[in-house]
Amino acid sequence: MSIATRTAITLSALIGLIFIISGVVSYDDSSRRSRESGLATLDHYARQLAQQQEARFARIRSTHARASELLRAELAGNPALDNAAVFDTLFPADPRGGRRSADALFSGGNTVFGYVRGVGAFIPREPDPAARRRLLAATGVVSQLGEGVRPELESLYYFTPDNALVMFAADRADQLRFYRKDAPSTLDFQRQEFATVTTRAANPARAMRCTALRHIMYDRTGGTWTTGCMTPIDLGGRHVGSWGTSVLLDSLIPANEFDDVPGTGVILISREGRLIHHPDYTHQKKSGPESMLDLTATRDPQLAALWSFVQQHRDGNFLGESEALGSFVAMRRIETPGWYALVVQDAAVMQAESNRLILRIALTAAICLILQALAIALLLRRRVGAPLARLIERTRALTNRVPSARFVDVDRVATRDEVAQLTHDFDIMAERLGSAQSELERKVSDRTKALRRANLELKLIATRDPLTGIPSRRHLASEIDARLAVLGGEGHYLLAFDVDHLKRINEVHGEETGDRALINIANGIAALLREGDLCGRIGGAEFAAFVRADSQAEAMNVAERVRTGLYGLETPGRYGEMIRVTVSAGVTGASIGDRFDSLLLRADAALEQAKRGGRDRAVWHRPAGRRQNPTMHSA
């Protein structure tokens, strides 16, 4: 195979690999963008859905609250509620027992509440006077409010624990015939969910509660599904009734709400685990037991996976892909009814656009790859293949003119390879340079470590007393001056300590014993001071401490605590006996403008007073000529 052919194949393979990598990157980017765009769309619809439903149920809640206000106002101020004739006219007796609403209440007529229409009522037994007043008042309330909120709310009704019901639903196709005509007097709906959610046991907060998807009570075929929200009303601490508003399944989510987003569906689930709406499971004309919508006990694997997903995200916020559901999901919580709204889209639908794009990219890349392979082959054949062919022809003509043995000798003579020699030499130089560099780095590292140790030792020498290890006079003075410059003098005190009779200890027991005593005294002072206090050796047998205190008395207490604490220290003497060392102390307070030297001068003056007073005591500095207070000293 010729060089041109091999080069053309190699270049084509490399360019093809670049096309493949570019295609993969483009596919990933397109898939990511498509996913982000799709999720943003789902999230937008989920937010919109949650806001719409929240607005609907907030309107229901406010309507019920307004109904309670109007009912109380009617009961308090409408004398017509006590007129038995009015009650008999609006709710005539039924031969089967109890009472039903007059036909004029639904078809339209004038009443004590004005013109009323669209109202139907069912009263299974004769009410007492108080219940009769509430039913009359409720009739006026549902009529007035019902007209005001239609068509946004389809119905508004009032029902009691005695199974009485007054409903406004002017737009219902059945004209409330079941309650006005067909319902038997034995009708009992207290075990229905819409009634149980209003009891004190189930609803101690007395707030609006919404039911799961249920068959509507009047439809005996089981093909009409509805949900509703109920708000109990209590009078005088007693549950007398509840307000209700029903929402038919078909009006929950309009059929064409998400037609512009293919493969998308809306799912509504109550916090108790009841399916409210699902494009595959809930249909208005589809009959079946209500238990099939209980996700907590379902045997359907898809519904079980759906409930498991909701439980994992009970806060109601999720946006992303769910492998368990095989869909992209945007979930939001609808606070008022306590529902979860999920907008789901089949993952395959969302991925379809990316797949179409990658197919176009792949076809374009294949065509470009074929064209560039042909172009490279033609170009190399003309620019490389033809010149090489002419060069081979000339070399063959030259070799045919020279004897074979001569070529062998030339090849053997030409065994010296300067490039190889240079490479060898460069390898040796590189190795030697590397070794020299390593040795230099090692020496620099050793010198650096030695320099650091020397600097540390110099720092310790400059800031620490070489015998005791506590701060030296110079370092202590610098620290005290810095604090005074920043904090001022108020509340700061200087304590000067001097070891009593150190000279005698040195003479009797030797200077080594005296040094050990100084070290013990230094460590004792540092240990007896509080955190944040400073101490240091001034020189010889004298030490100083800079402390913060709230008063002169507290500063003297600190000095006394140090003095008495040092009294317990013992140092072994020359002959094994233990030497107890005492100290004298002078205390002075700092003022504005003070520095270390001025403080030490006053503290030394107080220290001299302590020594003249018998040593082993602490004395507060007083200016010369002023009467001294009694000093503090040990017994």
Per-residue pLDDT of 257-274, as tens digits, reads 555 667 788 888 888 888
Contacts of 435 (CB under 8 A, 6+ apart): none
**Residue carrying structure tokens 């720092």:** 459
Query: For position 22, what pLDDT does the model report?
Result: 79
Please say if the pLDDT value at position 355 is more than 90.
no
Class of domain 61-349 (CATH, top level): alpha beta
pLDDT for 287 beyond 70: no
**Token pair for 560:** 């006394």
How many helices and strands, by DSSP H and E, does the chain display?
A: 17, 23
Q: CA distances (Å), 16 to each of 24, 426, 490, in order?
A: 12, 39, 83
Rounded CA Rg of the chain: 51
Predicted local distance difference test score (pLDDT) of residue 388: 65
133 pLDDT band (50/70/90 cuts)? very high
Across 379-389, average pLDDT: 73
Task: Report which of residues 222 and 21 the model is more confident about.
Answer: 21
Question: Confidence band (pLDDT; 50, 70, 90) for 308?
Answer: very high
Is 59 exposed, middle or buried (CB count within 10 Å of its CB: 0-12, 13-18, 19+)? middle
Q: How would you classify the pairing of strands 119-123 and 165-168?
A: antiparallel
Q: Find the range with the poorest average confidence among 51-55, 183-187, 257-261, 482-486.
A: 257-261
User: DSSP secondary structure string, 72-108?
Assistant: HHHHHH-GGGG-HHHHHHHS-B-TTSSEE--HHHHH-
Compute the mean pLDDT over every residue in the chain, rounded to the nearest whole number: 83
CA dist 358 and 23 (Å) reads 7
Q: Which phi and psi (to 5°) does residue 534 adopt?
A: -110, 150
Please tell me the distance from the alpha carbon of residue 7 to that of residue 71, in angstroms, as a whole number. 94
Q: Where are the domains positioned within the chain?
A: 3-49+350-381, 61-349, 419-463, 473-633
What pLDDT was estimated at residue 432?
A: 65
Residues in the chain: 635
CA-CA distance, 141 to 194, in Å (whole number)?
Answer: 20
Report how far apart, in Å, the C-alpha atoms of 320 and of each of 36, 158, 313, 342, 580 are: 9, 43, 12, 12, 80
Q: Report d(CA 58, CA 52) in Å as an integer.
A: 10
Amino acid 167 reads M
> Does pLDDT of 629 surpass 60?
no
Q: What is the pLDDT of residue 576?
A: 79
pLDDT band at 420 (very low <50, low <70, confident <90, very high): very low
- pLDDT band at residue 11, thresholds of 50, 70 and 90? confident
Q: Which residue has the tokens 């030695």?
A: 450
For 473-633, which CATH class?
alpha beta
211-270 per-position pLDDT tens digit? 887 767 665 555 567 888 999 999 999 999 999 998 887 777 765 555 566 778 888 888
In percent, the amount of the chain with pLDDT more than 70 equals 83
What pLDDT score was predicted for residue 494? 95
Biggest CA–CA distance in the chain, Å, is 144
| Residue of 461 and 127 predicted with greater confidence | 127
Whether the CB-CB separation of 491 and 548 falls below 8 Å is answered with yes
